């Protein structure tokens, strides 16, 4: 499999990790909304790229 695909999957997992990391009770609790937003955007963007790449592979381009 292509390394690019593994990179996209790792990026999606990193987005999930940013959503699930417990920041309450630490000095980073103030930036928790920012990490949630970054995690959501990472999952959405990289998932869309994977869907696009899959469709292009199915269509033969």
Q: What is the mean pLDDT of the chain?
A: 90
pLDDT beyond 90 at 5: no
Distance CA 10, CA 6 (A): 6
Taking only the tens place, the pLDDT of each residue in 30-54 is: 899 999 999 999 999 999 999 999 8
Listed by start position, the domains of the chain span 11-21+29-59
Distance CA 46, CA 26 (A): 29
pLDDT beyond 90 at 16: yes
Which pair of tokens denotes residue 53? 């790449």
% of the chain beyond a pLDDT of 70:
98
**Residues 40 and 19: beta-carbon distance below 8 Å:** yes
């Amino acid at each position: 499999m292509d390394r690019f695909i593994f990179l996209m999957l790792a990026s999606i997992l990193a987005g999930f990790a940013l959503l699930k990391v417990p920041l309450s009770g630490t000095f980073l609790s103030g930036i928790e909304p920012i990490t949630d937003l970054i995690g959501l955007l990472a999952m959405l963007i990289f998932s869309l790229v994977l869907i696009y790449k899959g469709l292009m592979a199915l269509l033969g381009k």
